[in-house]
Amino acid sequence: MTKITLKVNGKAVSGDVPDETLLSVFLRENLRLTGTHVGCDTSQCGACVVHVDGKSVKSCSTLAVSLEGAEVTTIEGLANGGLHPMQVAFNDNHGLQCGFCTPGMIMTGVDMVNRYKTEGTELTSEAIRAELEGNICRCTGYHNIVKSIEDAAAKM
């Protein structure tokens, strides 16, 4: 067991965890933050994406003990008093159906928009589709997901 201390959604948290505990398990089981979904356990689907120190990571392949002192943001912590523009855009543009992949898509979308804005690069629909290759949606066909990210990018 290793004691870890990190900041999750702006709050300091700590816990004793076995060294092999994945971040997704720590978030879901220890902290009861169930918005981070686990769809594959092999880092293929992207439903588990969270932000660690501002960058998107797949929490199902990240060891919790490796994040000592890190700042983690989950879908629950993305909104700060109201819905984040990406969450609003997914709602307005019907970027979800069953909702299982949605938290990971939103977290990936936020990271994507932030990176492209920082780099001063245009975020095209082709770029969005390429960036989403690590996220699987079995319902929507991606059209409205891409539209949602484009909409949010204009508002972020």
Burial 94-112 (b: 16+ CB within 10 A, else e): ebbeeebbbbbbbbbbbbb
**How do residues 42-64 score in pLDDT, each as one tens digit?**
888 999 999 999 999 999 999 99
CA distance 90 to 21: 31
Matching CATH number, 2-75, of 3.30.70.330, 3.30.300.20, 3.30.559.10, 3.10.20.30 = 3.10.20.30
85-155 shares the fold of 2-75:
no
Could you give the 3-state DSSP secondary structure of residue 121?
coil
Task: Parse the chain into domains and list their residue ranges.
Answer: 2-75, 85-155
Neighbours of 148 (CB within 10 A): 27
Q: What is the CATH number of domain 85-155?
A: 1.10.150.120
What number of CA atoms fall less than 13 Å from residue 148's CA on the CB side?
A: 28
- Tokens matching residue 23: 């971040």
Q: Contact 88/156 with Cβ under 8 angstroms?
A: no
Residue with the two structure tokens 């804005």: 117
> Given a cut of 90, is residue 9 above it in pLDDT?
yes
Could you give the 3-state DSSP secondary structure of residue 110?
helix
**How do residues 66-120 score in pLDDT, each as one tens digit?**
999 999 999 999 987 899 999 999 999 999 888 899 999 999 999 999 999 999 9
pLDDT of residue 117: 93
Could you give the 3-state DSSP secondary structure of residue 31?
coil
Residue with the two structure tokens 């949602």: 148
> Given a cut of 90, is residue 39 above it in pLDDT?
no
pLDDT of residue 43: 86
The proportion of the chain whose per-residue pLDDT surpasses 90, expressed as a percent, equals 86
CA distance 75 to 41: 19
How far is Cα of residue 70 from the mean position of the Cα atoms in its chain? 15
